[in-house]
Structure 1
Amino acid sequence: MAGLWFTEKQTENFGITIKINKTLHTEQTEFQKLDMVETEEFGNMLLLDGMVMTSQVDEFVYHEMVAHPALHTHPNPKTVLVVGGGDGGVIREVLKHESVEKAVLVEIDGKVIEYSKKYLPEIAGELDNPRVEVKVDDGFMHIIKSKDLYDVIMVDSTEPVGPAAPLFERGFYQGIFEALKEDGIFVAQTDNPWFKADLIQKVNKDVREIFPITRTYIANIPTYPSGMWTFTLGSKKHDPLNVNEADIKDLPTKYYSPELHHASFKLPKFVKALVE
């Protein structure tokens, strides 16, 4: 094949391959290998440790689906924490909710923020919004030190390797429970059911043991392994399945919608079997 191609190996025997026009930046940060590349099919793309994190073309799916199901489930979210997510996409979506007075981003790797602002401005463009506080810090430790502070907590992490590994442990979810207010909600990306079934089962079990209400939902993200992605939501009081569709604001989104809110919780049988 002519040209330069990047392959993310998703298992020992399977990967996704993307044609690269050029490398915009490459660096070994304090925490991980960071590459920003320009692709033929998906525009500028952020890679961390050889894994696709986000791209200009399909980023809206992931960022909308991290933010909006939880924020439409909580009746009045004012304080929101995003752990990870240094590209700023989840923050951008959070700010579409007028009730949110303060959104805190805690990203361990400041280089992710720096180069997202430079090469992914449509994603990172709200990080300087006055309603946003950006902290370059360890998200795990921030959670442990926070008590009864947040209405909604969103965990926008990489896969459970390297600096993100502690963000998939039961103790982290217990810390999230304590950092939430009495009717708080949290959501985390929980990978794909084709190659990470064990991870989904473990996370769901851990969250169920801590939160009274636990729900899993899915979205389609073409640049992520298998294209089918899961999210796990834990809530102290409010059930996303009980949200009245008529009460969901039709925000300026490209993927999430009032109709999709409930539909995303309708799981294929093999995914449903993992979480029951």
Structure 2
Amino acid sequence: MSIWFTEKQTEHFGITARITKTYVSEQTDFQQLDMVETAEFGNMLLLDGMVMTTEKDEFVYHEMVAHVPLHTHPNPEHVLVVGGGDGGVIREILKHPEVKKATLVEIDGKVIEYSKQYLPTIAGALDDPRVDVQVADGFMHIAKSENEYDVIMVDSTEPVGPAVNLFTKGFYEGISKALKEDGVFVAQTDNPWFQKSLIKTVFKDVSETFPVTRLYTANIPTYPSGLWSFTIGSKKHDPLDVSDERFHDLATQYYTPAIHKAAFALPKFVQELTES
């Protein structure tokens, strides 16, 4: 008998995968956490019934969250990741030689624990000596920080449950305060097929907080619609003005210098979401 899981991505649409094994099914202090093995995408982390990451396509998301802002900033020595307990963004951050310290603030320690156990190729860098892992509320961490980070990456779930506050203008203003004078931040901002109003609101809020604001996209098959967006806010540096000399020769599977620039070329219906 086959067991299938369906993520109901909208009221009328979902994505389905065949489950070959269930490792964990647990209600943590914050959310329902499931770690399963799938026939198509390998091990998969689910939070509140939503696909967070899979072994097969995780590199797209993690590379695009990390390398775009890290190449935009000329000297990203101290980096913060809010969320991202699976460790994939941290793994990519550590590929940059300028980074001296990467701080991870994840509210749910169970995400870290089970990712280390069942997603070792993603979470393996969490034990690196340059990484400071904190099980804490990222919103509160930002509120207490000032002029501390070169780059901040918000690797959150969709705006439900513990992540709701991570999509507010007050949070972006807190991020601006937590960044140094030439700091850069990026956040995942869902997909333009089903979440137009969210992207439009976030882009407006970030634009009112940061002098440079850009939207870029990537293709992630297990995320709703497959087309995913990211919003970058910068106090000084424009991701479109990165010189060729800035790009490191990194071991990546999706991100390249050409992709860095091409990701900001938006389809018209997506571009319109950034226009007031």
* TM-score strictly above 0.5: yes
Find the residue that maps to 1:11 and give its secondary structure: coil
Distance 1:264 1:48 in 2: 27
Identity %, equivalent residues = 72
Residue identity in the other structure for 1:97: H
Question: How far off its partner does 1:250 sit?
Answer: 2.1
TM-score computed with the length of structure 1 as normaliser: 0.99
Task: Tell me the equivalent position of 1:223.
Answer: 222
Q: What whole-Å deviation, never above 9, does each CA across 1:215-252 have from its counterpart, x for those lacking one?
A: 00000000000000000000000000011134311200
Q: What whole-Å deviation, never above 9, does each CA across 1:114-167 have from its counterpart, x for those lacking one?
A: 000000000000000000000000000000000000000000000000000000
The unaligned stretches of length 5 or more in structure 2 are none
Contact 1:245 1:259 in 2 (8 A): no
Find the residue that maps to 2:187 and give its secondary structure: strand
TM-score computed with the length of structure 2 as normaliser: 0.99
Matches within 5 A, 1:158-197: 158-197=157-196
Matches within 5 A, 1:95-114: 95-114=94-113
Q: What whole-Å deviation, never above 9, does each CA across 1:180-217 have from its counterpart, x for those lacking one?
A: 00000000000000000000000000000000000000
Return structure 1 stretches of 4+ with deviation > 3 angstroms.
none
Residue identity in the other structure for 1:119: Y
Contact 1:250 1:258 in 2 (8 A): no
Residue identity in the other structure for 1:254: Q
Structure 1, 157-166 or 244-253: larger mean CA deviation: 244-253
Distance 1:102 1:182 in 2: 18
Task: Tell me the equivalent position of 1:76.
Answer: 75
Contact 1:80 1:150 in 2 (8 A): yes
Contact 2:19 2:38 in 1 (8 A): yes
Length, aligned pairs only: 275
Contact 2:218 2:227 in 1 (8 A): yes
Distance 1:269 1:245 in 2: 27
Contact 2:215 2:232 in 1 (8 A): yes
Contact 1:82 1:106 in 2 (8 A): yes
Find the residue that maps to 2:9 and give its secondary structure: strand
Task: Tell me the equivalent position of 2:147.
Answer: 148
Task: Tell me the equivalent position of 1:58.
Answer: 57
Contact 2:91 2:124 in 1 (8 A): yes
Task: Tell me the equivalent position of 1:124.
Answer: 123
Contact 1:191 1:231 in 2 (8 A): yes
Contact 2:74 2:246 in 1 (8 A): no
Task: Tell me the equivalent position of 2:258.
Answer: 259
Question: How far off its partner does 1:52 sit?
Answer: 0.1
Distance 2:229 2:244 in 1: 21
Query: Is 2:220 the counterpart of 1:214?
Result: no
Contact 2:182 2:235 in 1 (8 A): yes
Distance 2:123 2:96 in 1: 17
Distance 1:266 1:245 in 2: 18
Query: Is 2:16 the counterpart of 1:17?
Result: yes
Find the residue that maps to 1:104 and give its secondary structure: strand
The unaligned stretches of length 5 or more in structure 1 are none
Q: What whole-Å deviation, never above 9, does each CA across 1:52-94 have from its counterpart, x for those lacking one?
A: 0000000000000000000000000000000000000000000
Residue identity in the other structure for 1:80: V
Find the residue that maps to 2:217 and give its secondary structure: strand
Distance 1:52 1:183 in 2: 34
Residue identity in the other structure for 2:7: E
Distance 2:123 2:10 in 1: 30
Query: Is 2:270 the counterpart of 1:271?
Result: yes
Find the residue that maps to 1:266 and give its secondary structure: coil
Find the residue that maps to 1:23 and give its secondary structure: strand
Distance 1:123 1:156 in 2: 14
Distance 2:23 2:244 in 1: 43
Question: How far off its partner does 1:43 sit?
Answer: 0.2
